[in-house]
Amino acid sequence: MRKLGIVLAAGQGKRMKSKLYKVLHPVCGKPMVGHVLDVLDAVRVDRKVVIVGHGAEEVKAYLGERAEFALQAEQLGTGHAVLMAKPLFEQEDGITVVICGDTPLIRPDSLEAMIRLHQEQGAAATLMSANLNDPRGYGRIVRNEQGHVVSIVEQKDCSTDQDAIREINAGTYCFDNRKLFAALAKVTNDNAQKEYYFTDVVGILREQGETVLAYCTNDESEWIGVNDRVALSEAEKYMRDRINRGHMMNGVTIVDPVNTYIEKDVAIGADTVLHPGTVLRGNTAIGEDCSIGPNCELTDTVVGARVHIKHSILSEAEVGDGSSVGPFAYLRPGAKLAGNVKIGDFVEIKNAFLDEGAKVSHLSYIGDAQVGKNVNIGCGAITVNYDGFNKNKTVIGDDAFVGSNVNLIAPVTIGKGAFLVAGSTITNDVADNDVAIARERQTNKEGYAEKLRAKFKAAKQNKSST
């Protein structure tokens, strides 16, 4: 049966007290509405429409072609919001899922189970519910003897018996699409707020003799809707725990899950160990048998197998099998390491390729460069890639040796097997197997150190006397 999805994302979210539109606030690195669309994709929803209002252009820009959009220009209630999808969906047959854009913790398995219950029982509507130890403030689910939903009663309207009910409305629904829009046409705004309440649809369908069911989720986090920064932090905690558990069940060792932060789309291979303080963002992918951390931050970075990284930051970088990075290294966008490359402490790599077996062990900057196989770059060496106007490239051939504190003034090419003497400033190309030295000849002045000390002492005395 065809599946449709309506995502409610038109509210301003005033309680967030933010310039950022509510559903675009991230949870584990992804905007909340992005998580919701992921769930709808996972249960194979054929068409999705996002109801937008405040911040409409920002939401559209983020989601792009992942969904269709309908504008709720006036905020006249949740029923009115769903009604904005009518021009797109009213002629469709199938099941329509209605879900809020600020509920990032809904699981695909739960939504799939709710849809399956809806289909098997031939219901007109099925809603998701949850049992809370303290349900105060939430609408209660009232069932009849058959377990069908009779009504949703808000806290302020509960009788004594209804107030004792622990099952609450989690705010996610599925409907027979035709019956949904037929019932919506009968919803009125005859209430103190003069709004069209979507929950009134349940009562209308019951009055028509239709079957209304509830699927009770066993995960208390799924019902959380994010309306303020406190709820945002709670959602982040639940999502992070869920992500970490998933990786651990797939064979990843996380030494301290409380202090390990992994975003939703990160992939990690089996037998990799994550040490405390590890932060993995974006589309980072890590291979098997790696050791990451402590205190590493990787963003949109691809890491091969058997890689060791500690106390380092990598962004839009690639690290080949068997390589090591850190401590205290910084791999910037465009840094690409082949296999068995060593990047040591306080080394920065930017827009550079280092081939198999290359080593940059400490205190160096390599930018806009191509470094060959088995090249050794000594302490303090740098590629001088920017002349104040343009970025220029340095090319270093296989098996070359770059001594400590060498400046490579780009554009420059160093041949295979070349040897650059420590302290040199290289401005011209060096041919294969040549030795290059570019520094002032040393001059020693015999006994002159005593004269210098006397001179400095006299100058200091003259200054103090004045």
Strand partners, 348: 330, 365
Which residue type occupies 267? A
How many whole angstroms separate alpha carbon 210 and alpha carbon 122? Answer: 9
What are the CA-CA distances from residue 38 to residues 10, 115, 116, 191 (Å)? 19, 16, 19, 35
- Provide the token pair at 185: 């046409």
**How big is the CA angle at 373 (ends 371 and 379), to the nearest 5 degrees?**
60
Strand partners, 55: 53
Q: Strands 125-131, 167-176: parallel, antiparallel or unpaired by DSSP?
A: antiparallel
Residue 197 near residue 77 (C-beta atoms within 8 A): yes
Q: Which residues are catalytic?
A: 362
How many whole angstroms separate alpha carbon 126 and alpha carbon 268? Answer: 37
Residue 252 near residue 267 (C-beta atoms within 8 A): no
How many whole angstroms separate alpha carbon 182 and alpha carbon 164? Answer: 33
